[in-house]
Amino acid sequence: MKAILLTEPGLQNLKLGQSTLADLKPGDLRIEVKATSLNPVDYKLSTHGHPSWTYPHTPGVDGAGVVLEVGPEVQGIQVGDRVFYHGDLTRAGSFAEQVLVDHRAVTVLPAEMSFEEGAALPCAGLTAYQALVRFCNLQAGQTVLVQGGAGGVGSFAVQIAHQWGARVIATASPAKHELVRSLGADEVIDYRDPEQMVEQVLQFSAGGVDIVLDTVSRASSTLGLQMVRPSGQLAFIAGRPEPEAVQQLGHPIKVHEVMLGGAHVRKDDAAIRDLSRMGEALSSMVVQGKVKVLISQHIGLPEIPEWLIKLKAGEVPFGKVVATL
C-alpha cells in the first residue's frame, strides 16, 4: 500500500513509498484510511523520532475511514462502519492507505460528517474537550481564556467554551481576530505584547479568568498564571508553567497537564474508551451545527511532508490541514 515513510528521524526524511501492515492483534480494526489530518505531534516526532519506532516508520495520529476487518475481541464495531479516531502514536500511523487501530478508541462517524471532518477532529478537538470539559469541569457563566485561539486546538476550545455558555477571551495574531470572533470569542487579544495582553485580560475579566487553556508553550502557560483568578484553573497542552512561578503565585489554583495520547501510552482502558466517548460528544456538536470543523487546506497523501514543514513554520492560515486518500 502507499504510505508516507520516515526513513530516519528528521523532517526532511519523510517521503511517499510502499509499506505493509503488521498482523491484526486482538482488539484491532483494519481501517481503509479515507482522510487524515496533520498535527504538530506528527512533525515533532518525525523530527526527533520515538524510542518505540523502527524505520521506515509511518506517522499520523488522526484519521477517518471504513472498517475493512475486525480482529478477535472486537465489540460494537462492524466491517463497513465509517469511523474516526486518535491513534496510538507508537504504532504505524494514518499517513497510509490502511492502518490498524484499537477498536476501543474509535468513534462511529455520523452520516452527516465527511471523512475529512472526521479526520480533522480527534487530536485538536478531543484535546480541547478533554482540557475544558473533563479536567476543568467547565460551567456556564465562567470566563475562559484560550491562548492560541486560531490554532487547531484553540479553534475547537473557543467554540466548546462558547457553547457551554462561558464568556470567552482568546489570544491570536491580528489577522485572525475576525475568524476567532466568528467562532464565539467575546474578546480577542493580540498576544505579541505580553504585558499589554495580561493587562487587557485582567481588565476584561475583572481581575482574572476562571480557566486558562494554554495551547502555546511553557512561556505562555507561565504567563497564563498571571491571568487566573484565585481558585481558578490552568490547563496546558504544550509546556508546563515554570515551577517557581507556580510556587510564587501566592494563591491556590488547579493546574492540569493534558496529554491526549497518554491514554494509549499507558494502555489505560478507561482513558482509551473515553477517547471514543469524547469523539461522540464532539461529533454530535458538529452535527447540531454547534461546532465547526475548520479546514484551511485540502491536500493529497504525497503532499503531507511539505505541509508538515509548513505547519511547523506557522504557515497554515487557520484550523487544520487534511489529506484525502
Please identify, using beta-carbon distances, which residue of 82 and 319 lies nearer to ligand NAP: 319
124: buried, middle or exposed (CB in 10 Å: 19+, 13-18, 0-12)?
Answer: buried
Positions in the binding site for ligand NAP (CB under 6 A): 39-41, 44, 123-124, 127, 147-148, 150-154, 171-173, 176, 191, 215-216, 220, 237-238, 258-260, 311
Please identify, using beta-carbon distances, which residue of 142 and 297 lies nearer to ligand NAP: 297
Helices (H), 183-296: 194-204, 218-224, 243-247, 262-265, 269-287
128 touches 160 (CB < 8 A): yes
Going by the DSSP 8-state scheme, the letter that residue 11 receives in this structure is: G
Shortest distance (Å) from residue 185 CB to ligand NAP:
12
Number of neighbouring beta carbons within 10 Å of residue 200: 17
Number of neighbouring beta carbons within 10 Å of residue 135: 18
Shortest distance (Å) from residue 130 CB to ligand NAP:
8
Shortest distance (Å) from residue 114 CB to ligand NAP:
20
Please identify, using beta-carbon distances, which residue of 60 and 67 lies nearer to ligand NAP: 60
Shortest distance (Å) from residue 152 CB to ligand NAP:
3
143 touches 225 (CB < 8 A): no
Please identify, using beta-carbon distances, which residue of 70 and 308 lies nearer to ligand NAP: 308
282 touches 265 (CB < 8 A): no
| 126 three-state secondary structure | helix
Please identify, using beta-carbon distances, which residue of 32 and 274 lies nearer to ligand NAP: 274
Please identify, using beta-carbon distances, which residue of 30 and 86 lies nearer to ligand NAP: 86
Shortest distance (Å) from residue 147 CB to ligand NAP:
5
| 182 three-state secondary structure | helix
- Point out the residue whose Cβ comes nearest to ligand NAP: 151
Shortest distance (Å) from residue 193 CB to ligand NAP:
11
Bridge-partner residues for 111, per DSSP? none
